[in-house]
Structure 1
Amino acid sequence: MSKKVKIGLVQMSCSADQEANTAKAIEGIRKAAAQGAQIVCLQELFRSLYFCDVEDHHNFSLAEAIPGPTTDRLAEVARETGTVIIASLFEKRAQGLYHNTTAVLDADGSYLGKYRKMHIPDDPGYYEKFYFTPGDASPGDTGYRVFDTQYARIGVLICWDQWYPEAARITALMGAEILFYPTAIGWDTTEPDPKVNEEQYSAWQTIQRGHAIANGVHVVAVNRVGQEAEQKFWGGSFVANPHGTLLYLAPHEEETVHVQEVDLNLTDKYRTTWPYFRDRRVDSYQAITRRYIDE
């Protein structure tokens, strides 16, 4: 039986006006829904500028509870449009405890839960460890998650998680039919060698296509565009099939709303032809839990 799902990607630029950014995102969701989208993914931290380029305590005022005002608002849009919404937000969990979190709203507007970013970068222009506590698998927290939506069982990871095959593998082993990656990543405008920027973008896309291949699932990455401080966000949002083939590739500089149909039955086809799951040597992987193998 055919199991086709239409995926909406909203790639946009952001300003310092949170309300304007939220309104733009909602407009994108409605536009995608009008084109038949059933699941719509927004980019990482879509409500604000990417504030992690600096360490500034004032930026903690951008955070909110999840569920909270934005998820309530998006729940209405999900119910109105009949779409699943994947929304990346800055979460205030408690006083002094914050997360980079993605909430999932089902097509009837119900709140399905959240995933807290597990891998937190700390690089020039990406000082996320100043702001975010990583998610973990302790009681009451989220750990790696899958969400049973009206249209598919989906897995959500966030940006820096993209570089870790363990995160993709675990989420796929939990039954995710599609891996979504809300993202905020770009080129350093002070980098004098264009080949460095080209190599970085190529690596970003390649490793995620590799996750699609290794796990036999569709991968959807949604990035932002526009220049903020010394970062020029490179867009390039894409959809890859379970063998890593690009089904859609967004431009680098333009705001874009795109709807891409995917066939979830391809997972069975590719996993049968390329049986990586069958041939996993789970008895030999104990060393993966070590930080480094010195001997």
Structure 2
Amino acid sequence: MSKTLKAGLVQQAAWPDKARSLNESEAGIRELAERGAELVLLQELHATHYFCQGEDAALFDLAEPLDGPTATRLAELARELDIVLVGSIFERRAAGLYHNTAVVMDRARGRVGHYRKMHIPDDPGFYEKFYFTPGDADAEQGFEPIDTSVGRLGLLVCWDQWYPEAARLMALAGAELLLYPTAIGWHPPDDLPEKGRQKDAWTIVQRAHGVANGLPVLVANRVGFEADHSGVNEGIHFWGGSFICGPQGEMLAHAGDEAENLLVELDMSRSEDVRRMWPYLRDRRIDAYGELTRRYRDR
């Protein structure tokens, strides 16, 4: 029997002003809810500018606890609109301990789970190791799906999207969808061919996670140019390109490089059909993969 899910995402610009950024998020959430969305995904760090372009200890003041003002506002929206809402916060867990955290609000139930970004980059313009501690790799957190009224959500955040191991572990734990809140873009000096290669690779690798695991994928990225307030770098042009694809990687909705809301009706029964045709989980050689836990296979 077919089971459908109306799933949407908000692709937006964001600013240092939390009120302005959250108002933009809320407008997108409400528009999607009016169109019948049952699940809405927001992009990574949607409540602020992408502050990781430089290292500034004063910016830790942007962080909030799991039950802080941003999460509270998202929970109120999920309750009012009767939706499952996936948002993003710069989490203050304790003094000196901060995470990049996705939070899941389920209708009137409030927060039913959270996921702390596991892979943390440290590259020019993306100095995230200065700000974020990786999530704990245990049974309670780690690569564990979150149960909601619309299904089991496999949440992964931005840099996590390049790692097939993360998507696989979510699938093996019973995730029914893969969701990637994201903040990625180009540095202005990159030439056009390089920009094309980067964006194509980003799109392809996430579609491939859907194919390899027989699951739909939702990816929400930000848009617009954001200057580096530290003055070290030339800023980042966030390329948008948010998308929703099915369990064979088929593109169901694809955003451009401006603010945009996407909504699709997913046939959730297709994962079962696809996995019967392409039984990757059945044919995995789990007896032969032990060395995947090594950093590198030195000869």
Picking from 222, 225, 230, the partner of 1:224 is: 222
Q: Secondary structure at the match of 2:282?
A: coil
Gaps of 5+ in 2: 228-234
Shift of 1:109: 4.1
Counterpart position of 2:89 = 89
- The answer (yes or no) to whether the contact 1:152–1:177 under 8 Å persists in 2 is yes
Q: In structure 2, which of residues 260, 264, 284 is the aligned counterpart of residue 260 of structure 1?
A: 264
- For residues 178 and 90 of structure 1, what CA distance do their matches in structure 2 show? 23
Q: Aligned to 1:235, which of 235, 240, 247?
A: 240
Percent of residue pairs bearing the same amino acid type: 52
Partner residue of 1:215 out of 213, 231, 248: 213
Q: Does 1:178 align with 2:183?
A: no
Letter in 1 for 2:94: A
Which amino acid in the other structure matches residue 287 of structure 1? Answer: E
How is 1:29-48 mapped onto 2 (pairs within 5 angstroms)? 29-48=29-48
Residue 74 of structure 1 and its aligned partner are, at CA, apart by 1.2
Q: How does 1:108-257 map to 2 (within 5 A)?
A: 108-138=108-138, 142-191=141-190, 193-229=191-227, 230-252=235-257, 254-257=258-261
- Cα deviation for residue 137 of structure 1 reads 2.1
Q: Deviations over 1:105-153 (max 9, x none)?
A: 00224211110000000001100000000012247x6211211111111
Deviation at 1:228, TM superposition (A): 0.6
Q: Partner letter of residue 289 of structure 2?
A: Y
* Alignment-derived partner of residue 288 in structure 2: 284
Any idea what SS the aligned residue of 2:238 has? strand
Q: Which whole-Å CA distance do the structure 1 matches of 2:15 and 2:136 have between them?
A: 31
Q: Structure 1: which 5+ runs fail to align?
A: none
Amino acid across the alignment from 2:202: W
Q: Residues 82-125 of structure 1: CA distance to partner in whole angstroms, max 9, x if unpaired?
A: 11010111000000000000000002242111100000000011
8 Å CA contact retained: 2:156, 2:178: yes
In 2, Cα distance between the equivalents of 1:273 and 1:107?
Answer: 35
1:216-241 Cα deviation digits (max 9, x unpaired): 00011000000012210000000111
Q: CA deviation at 1:68?
A: 2.2
Provide the secondary structure at the position in 2 that maps to 1:108: helix
SS in 2 for 1:101: strand
Between 1:179-188 and 1:147-156, the stretch displaced more is 147-156
Deviation at 1:24, TM superposition (A): 1.3
Cα distance in 1, alignment partners of residues 110 and 158 from structure 2 = 25
Check 1:236–1:164 CA distance in 2 against 1; reply closer, same or farther (3 A cut).
same
Corresponding residue SS for 2:108: coil
Q: Is the 8 A contact 1:53 1:125 kept in 2?
A: yes
Q: TM-score, normalised by structure 1?
A: 0.97
Could you tell me which residue of structure 1 aligns to residue 55 of structure 2?
55
CA separation in 2, counterparts of 1:63 and 1:78? 22
Q: Give the stretch that moved more between structures: 85-94 or 105-114.
A: 105-114
SS at match of 1:258: strand
Q: Distance in 2 between matches of 1:123 and 1:3?
A: 42
Partner SS, residue 203 of structure 1? helix
Contact 1:11 1:257 in 2 (8 A): yes
> In the TM superposition, what whole-angstrom CA distance separates every residue of 1:47-73 from its partner, at most 9, and x where no partner exists?
000000000111101000002222122
Supply the AA of the counterpart residue of 2:208.
G
TM norm structure 2:
0.96
Query: What is the DSSP-based 3-state SS (H/G/I as helix, E as strand, rest coil) of the residue aligned with 1:270?
Result: helix
**Shift of residue 190 of structure 1?**
1.7
Contact residue 155 and residue 177 of structure 1 kept, 8 A? yes
Q: Distance in 1 between matches of 2:216 and 2:116?
A: 21
Structure 2 counterpart of 1:243, one-letter code: Q
Distance in 1 separating the partners of 2:94 and 2:185: 30
Deviates more, 1:64-73 or 1:154-163: 64-73
Higher deviation after alignment, 229-238 or 65-74? 65-74
Paired residues of 1:107 and 1:149 also in contact (CA < 8 A): no
Q: What does residue range 8-47 of structure 1 map to in structure 2 within 5 Å?
A: 8-47=8-47
The superposition leaves residues 182-212 of structure 1 with CA deviations (integer Å, 9 ceiling, x where unpaired) of 0000011122x21111000000000001000
Using the alignment, how far apart are the partners of 2:109 and 2:55 within structure 1? Answer: 35
Tell me if structure 2 keeps the 8 A contact 1:99–1:117. yes
